[in-house]
Amino acid sequence: MIKREEVEDEGGLTVGNIRSYYKCEVCGYVTLVRTQYGWLDSHPIRYTCGNCKILIKGIAILDQQNADFRIDIENASLVSPENEADFYIETSGELLTEKLQPYNSETHWYIPPPFFRGLWGMGDPSDPQSGYEKFDIFKKNVISFLHTTKNEWPRIRRINELWHHENHEYLVQEVRKVLPKKQFPMNNRLEYLRGVHFITKFFLQPVISYEHNETIFRELKSLFEQNPANMIELSRYFKDHYRSYDRRILRIIEHFTEVFKFLIPAYGLTYYHEISEDLVEKKGMTTAAFEDIKEFYIDTYEFVAEIVPIIIGYNNLKYRDDFKKMSDTKPKYEFDKFLEAHKGKKVEYIDGTEVFDSLIVDGSIDNKIRNAIGHNTYEFDGISQLIKYDPVGKNKPSDIREMYLVQFAGKCLSIFQTVVHIWELLYQTEKHLYVSQGMKSVNPAVFSMNHLEQKAIKEKVRSKKKSEKRMKKLIKKQKRKK
Ligand SMILES: [Zn+2]
């Protein structure tokens, strides 16, 4: 039995919530699950039974067209609201929610839903309207990314795969379907690389920041003036690795498209005006359990740790005028040996003192949580959403650390952002190699960003209209069948 609840804010905006009562199939305790229905067609639900502590997993499905809503859940059964609830939890696919707590009929008959709290968090207190504006951007970006993931990602993946397998004939054929020939002639390796990179970058753009590219462009330009010969040498040094790095990055991007739905409430935090210190302690997320996202973190970590030498190479070139000349003030390594160093040592080498270190987002590379996941020395409490982890693995109380699930989800996002920065650096480095081999890039005069963006937008509108048409046809068909 499901009860609808419409809540109105001061501005007259109506927000829908669904109250459903779920009885744990093990201990019989009842949880009132208050689901905020927002703008996602479906979203995962994860919560822990407050009594016997088992994980209850499900999916909320919202059929916007038929105004229908249902939750498919395992390990608990829907019961009638006459049952007195023992626990209360909120769920949302998009926003932070109240954590599981004992049900209290006096306080829980009404509390502001997650949507309002999200608006308040995103808004500047001195400008109440700003919360709505930021929320709209957040919503637009998430929907756009989920839409392109569903509809465009398979094509983007195959274009990347054709490039990795050097299937240039098919590569040109596939890229031509998406990009204009004038700006993307696809007539040499340099142009193949540029076409593939552009398409993939465009795909990630709704949820990824490219602000950091300015630092990369600025630094590389000045290095090229400082020591062009050494810069070309650097790009040659990595020449046998570019394709294997690309393959790893493609797998990470694919993994990201799979886990993004678990991370949306943490992603929403990037739109907050201010994040209070106790926010993660008090509010949680019900889109994911720790197990849903930990693999993504450690797989991505492994790659970043392996690729650190290219960052160090650029630091060496900038500060010591030779990409192989390592710092005197840090642990002693030869550059060639550094490539084979233990991953933990490579990560430690980055200490934020040199400019290319800034490509690693602060706090994203956390070898303590990585080690605890790797050694299985962690515990996740689904109720408080606290991850307790032991990086050393000797079970000494002084070694145990803590982190909330929302914070860990934030690390998953920032480690992915880090990969995107490194990917850009690799791309620029490989481009230098081809330019040094005499390959010509397209004349910048034909390359008007505005023109391209307009084309891409037109394409998007067209494909959206097409998919809406298909959807309408399908619904008609199904109705006829009935
Ligand atoms: Zn239970």
Whole-number Å distance, alpha carbon 33 to ligand 1 midpoint, is 14
Mean pLDDT of 190-200: 97
Whole-number Å distance, alpha carbon 238 to ligand 1 midpoint, is 55
Taking 80 as the threshold, does the pLDDT of residue 462 lie above it? Answer: no
Taking 60 as the threshold, does the pLDDT of residue 260 lie above it? Answer: yes
Taking 80 as the threshold, does the pLDDT of residue 199 lie above it? Answer: yes
For residue 274, what pLDDT band results from cuts at 50, 70 and 90? confident
Mean pLDDT of 163-180: 96
Taking 60 as the threshold, does the pLDDT of residue 82 lie above it? Answer: yes
Whole-number Å distance, alpha carbon 27 to ligand 1 midpoint, is 4
Residues 379-432: tens digit of each pLDDT: 999 999 999 999 999 989 999 999 999 999 999 999 999 999 999 999 999 999
What is the torsion angle, in degrees rounded to the nearest 10, for the CA atoms of residue 38, residue 19, residue 264 and residue 118? 70
Whole-number Å distance, alpha carbon 204 to ligand 1 midpoint, is 40
Whole-number Å distance, alpha carbon 30 to ligand 1 midpoint, is 8
Q: Are strands 2-8 and 14-24 parallel, antiparallel or unpaired?
A: antiparallel
**CA of 477: how far to CAs of 66, 69, 186, 435, 474, in Å?**
15, 21, 42, 55, 5
Whole-number Å distance, alpha carbon 29 to ligand 1 midpoint, is 6
The 10 Å Cβ neighbour count of residue 161 is 15
Whole-number Å distance, alpha carbon 57 to ligand 1 midpoint, is 13
Q: Give the mean pLDDT of the chain.
A: 90
Domain coordinates in residue numbering, the chain: 2-115, 133-443, 448-482
Q: What is the DSSP string of 70-108?
A: EEEEESEEEE-TTSPPSEEEEE-SSS-EEPPEE--HHHH
Residues 116-170: tens digit of each pLDDT: 888 889 999 899 889 999 999 999 999 999 999 999 999 999 999 999 999 999 9
Whole-number Å distance, alpha carbon 81 to ligand 1 midpoint, is 18
Residue 389 DSSP SS3: strand
User: What is the per-residue pLDDT for 110?
Assistant: 80
d(CA 196, CA 17): 43
Whole-number Å distance, alpha carbon 86 to ligand 1 midpoint, is 11
Whole-number Å distance, alpha carbon 34 to ligand 1 midpoint, is 18
Residue 149 DSSP SS3: helix
User: What is the per-residue pLDDT for 446?
Assistant: 64
Whole-number Å distance, alpha carbon 395 to ligand 1 midpoint, is 29
User: Whole-angstrom distance between the N-terminal and C-terminal Cα of the chain?
Assistant: 25
Structure token digits, residue 333: 């390594």
Taking 80 as the threshold, does the pLDDT of residue 281 lie above it? Answer: yes
For residue 250, what pLDDT band results from cuts at 50, 70 and 90? very high
Are 159 and 171 in contact by the 8 Å Cβ rule? The answer is yes
Which residues, 6+ apart, have CB-to-CB distance to 353 below 8 Å? Answer: none
User: What is the per-residue pLDDT for 109?
Assistant: 81
Mean pLDDT of 249-268: 97
d(CA 384, CA 369): 18
Whole-number Å distance, alpha carbon 290 to ligand 1 midpoint, is 19
d(CA 40, CA 36): 11
Check residues 482 and 329 and name the one with the higher pLDDT. 329
What is the chain's alpha carbon radius of gyration, rounded to the nearest angstrom?
25
Whole-number Å distance, alpha carbon 25 to ligand 1 midpoint, is 7
Provide the b/e sequence for 275-290 (b: ≥16 CB within 10 Å).
eeeebbeebbbbbbbb
Whole-number Å distance, alpha carbon 121 to ligand 1 midpoint, is 33
User: What is the per-residue pLDDT for 482?
Assistant: 44
Whole-number Å distance, alpha carbon 75 to ligand 1 midpoint, is 9
Whole-number Å distance, alpha carbon 369 to ligand 1 midpoint, is 29
Q: What is the DSSP string of 207-259?
A: T---TTHHHHHHHHHHHHHH-HHHHHHHHHHTTTTHHHHHHHHHHHHHHHHHH
Whole-number Å distance, alpha carbon 23 to ligand 1 midpoint, is 8
Tell me which of 49-53, 77-81, 448-452 is least confident: 448-452
Whole-number Å distance, alpha carbon 115 to ligand 1 midpoint, is 28
Whole-number Å distance, alpha carbon 272 to ligand 1 midpoint, is 35
**CA of 2: how far to CAs of 5, 70, 80, 82, 310, in Å?**
10, 9, 8, 11, 55
Structure token digits, residue 303: 């790659």
User: What is the per-residue pLDDT for 6?
Assistant: 64
Whole-number Å distance, alpha carbon 55 to ligand 1 midpoint, is 9
Whole-number Å distance, alpha carbon 278 to ligand 1 midpoint, is 28
Q: State the Cα angle at 220 between 219 and 224, rounded to 5°.
A: 120
For residue 115, what pLDDT band results from cuts at 50, 70 and 90? confident
Residues 285-327: tens digit of each pLDDT: 999 999 999 999 999 999 999 999 999 999 999 999 999 999 9
Which residues, 6+ apart, have CB-to-CB distance to 197 below 8 Å? Answer: 427
For residue 74, what pLDDT band results from cuts at 50, 70 and 90? very high
d(CA 193, CA 424): 12
Taking 50 as the threshold, does the pLDDT of residue 251 lie above it? Answer: yes
d(CA 465, CA 457): 12
User: What is the per-residue pLDDT for 480?
Assistant: 55
Residues 346-355: tens digit of each pLDDT: 999 999 999 9
Q: Are strands 378-381 and 386-389 parallel, antiparallel or unpaired?
A: antiparallel
d(CA 220, CA 427): 12
Whole-number Å distance, alpha carbon 187 to ligand 1 midpoint, is 63
Are 326 and 368 in contact by the 8 Å Cβ rule? The answer is no
Whole-number Å distance, alpha carbon 76 to ligand 1 midpoint, is 8
Whole-number Å distance, alpha carbon 437 to ligand 1 midpoint, is 66
User: What is the per-residue pLDDT for 13?
Assistant: 52
Whole-number Å distance, alpha carbon 66 to ligand 1 midpoint, is 33
Are 1 and 80 in contact by the 8 Å Cβ rule? The answer is yes
For residue 63, what pLDDT band results from cuts at 50, 70 and 90? confident
Whole-number Å distance, alpha carbon 18 to ligand 1 midpoint, is 22
